[in-house]
Amino acid sequence: MTTKKPTTKKAPKPYIQARPSKVEKCPQCRAKVLVGLDADACAFTVKIDPAALTRDGELIYIVAGALMYALKPSGHILRRSHAEILKRPGHFTIHREHQCDKPTPAHLLAPAQPPAMTVNDDETRF
C-alpha cells in the first residue's frame, strides 16, 4: 500500500508586488520626495515628503484632513487613516503627501535620526 503525500497549495501571489520607495525629484517643484506604492495589492503610486512629522504635526494634519502615510523601516509606504495614526503613536514614522504649493513648516518636522551605531567590545590582542 502506498501513501500519497499531502499536496499543499501555495497562496497566490498578489498582482502587484510591494517594493520599497525610491527617492526622486518632484517634476513641478524639484524637491526630493519618496515615490512608491501605498499597499501590497490594489496599490496607487504616491509621492510623500521624506521628512517624518512630529506628533504635533500629525495631529495638525489630521485636523486639516491631509493624506498621511507610514514608512516602514524597510522603505515600504503604507496608507494610514487618521484613526490608525491616533491609535498607534510612534509605531511607524508618519509622512504627509507631498504638496508643492504647501510645504511642511520646519517646526512640524521630526529631527533626522542619527545612523545606527555598533559597539565593538572586542579586546585588541597585542
Q: What is the pLDDT confidence band of residue 112, given thresholds at 50, 70 and 90?
A: confident
Q: Is residue 116 part of a domain?
A: no
Q: Is residue 6 part of a domain?
A: no
Cα–Cα distance for residue pair 119/106, rounded to 1 Å: 33
Q: Is residue 27 part of a domain?
A: yes
Q: Is residue 97 part of a domain?
A: yes
Q: Is residue 99 part of a domain?
A: yes
Sign of CA dihedral 18, 41, 104, 101: positive
Q: Which three cell numbers stand for residue 119?
A: 559597539
Name the residue range of residue 31's domain.
22-108
Q: Please answer whether residues 33 and 49 qualify as being in contact, where contact means their C-beta atoms are separated by less than 8 angstroms.
A: yes
Rounded to two decimals, the pTM is 0.72
Q: Is residue 3 part of a domain?
A: no
The total number of structural domains in the chain stands at 1
Q: Is residue 82 part of a domain?
A: yes
Q: What is the pLDDT confidence band of residue 16, given thresholds at 50, 70 and 90?
A: low
Sheet order of strands, 93-96 included: 77-80, 68-71, 93-96
